[in-house]
Amino acid sequence: MAAMNTLDTLVDLIGRHAPVDGTHETPIPGVKLIRASSPTLPMPVIYAPTLCLVAQGTKRAALGTTTYRYDPAHFLVASVELPVMGAVIKASASHPYLCLQLDLDSAELSDIAIRYPASEKDAVAIPAGLTLNKTTPPLLDAAIRLVGLLDTPHDIDALAPLTLREILYRLLTGAGSGVIRHMAQRDSRLNQIARAIVWIRGQFRGPCRIEDAAEVAGMSRSTFHLHFKAVTTMSPIEFRTQLRMQEARRLMVSDAMDAASAGFQVGYESPSQFSRDYGRIFGMPPARHASQTRQQIESPHAAP
Q: What is the pLDDT along the chain (304 residues), one digit of tens a residue?
A: 344 478 999 999 999 999 999 999 999 999 999 999 999 888 888 888 999 999 999 999 998 888 999 999 999 999 989 999 899 999 999 999 999 999 998 888 888 888 887 665 555 567 788 999 999 999 999 999 999 999 999 999 999 999 999 999 999 888 777 788 888 777 788 889 999 999 999 989 988 888 999 999 999 999 999 999 999 999 999 999 999 998 999 899 888 899 999 999 999 999 999 999 999 988 889 989 888 877 776 664 443 3
- Domain check: are 73 and 140 in the same one? yes
pLDDT confidence of residue 112: 86
Would you put residue 195 in left (φ > 0), alpha (ψ -120 to 50) or beta?
Answer: alpha
* 273: CATH: 1.10.10.60
pLDDT confidence of residue 187: 73
CB count in 10 Å sphere of residue 258: 14
Task: Name the phi and psi angles at 255, rounded to 5.
Answer: -105, 5
- Domain check: are 214 and 93 in the same one? no
In a domain, 18, yes or no: yes
- Domain check: are 129 and 23 in the same one? yes
Kindly state the helix (H) or strand (E) to which residue 240 belongs, with its residue range. helix 236-254
In a domain, 155, yes or no: yes
d(CA 59, CA 100): 13
- Domain limit, last residue, from 157, 184, 211: 184
- Domain check: are 178 and 210 in the same one? no
- Domain check: are 158 and 177 in the same one? yes
- Domain check: are 204 and 172 in the same one? no
Q: What is the CA radius of gyration of the chain?
A: 20
pLDDT confidence of residue 301: 45
Angstrom CA distances, 193 to 11, 36, 127, 228, 230, stand at: 36, 33, 11, 6, 10
In a domain, 106, yes or no: yes
Contact criterion met (CB below 8 Å) for 271 and 260: yes
Contact criterion met (CB below 8 Å) for 26 and 35: no
Altogether, the residues listed in the chain come to a count of: 304
In a domain, 303, yes or no: no
- Domain check: are 200 and 284 in the same one? yes
In a domain, 270, yes or no: yes
Query: What are residue 67's DSSP bridge partners?
Result: 62
Pairing mode, strands 130-134 and 74-78 = antiparallel
Contact criterion met (CB below 8 Å) for 96 and 43: no
In a domain, 115, yes or no: yes
The answer for residues whose C-beta is within 8 angstroms of residue 45's C-beta and 6 or more apart is 83, 84, 85, 86, 246
- Domain limit, last residue, from 158, 184, 210: 184
CB count in 10 Å sphere of residue 229: 17
Residue type, 107: A
Task: Name the phi and psi angles at 302, rounded to 5.
Answer: -65, 155
* 45: CATH: 2.60.120
d(CA 209, CA 125): 26
pLDDT confidence of residue 119: 64
- Domain check: are 197 and 153 in the same one? no
- Domain check: are 126 and 259 in the same one? no
- Domain check: are 207 and 174 in the same one? no
- Domain limit, last residue, from 159, 184, 209: 184
Instruction: Give the structural domain span for 236.
Output: 189-298
**How many domains does the chain fold into?**
2
d(CA 293, CA 85): 13
- Domain check: are 147 and 251 in the same one? no
pLDDT confidence of residue 303: 38
In a domain, 30, yes or no: yes
Give SS3 for 302. Answer: coil
d(CA 218, CA 88): 37
CB burial class (10 A; 0-12, 13-18, 19+) of residue 87?
middle
In a domain, 304, yes or no: no
pLDDT confidence of residue 300: 43
- Domain check: are 13 and 149 in the same one? yes
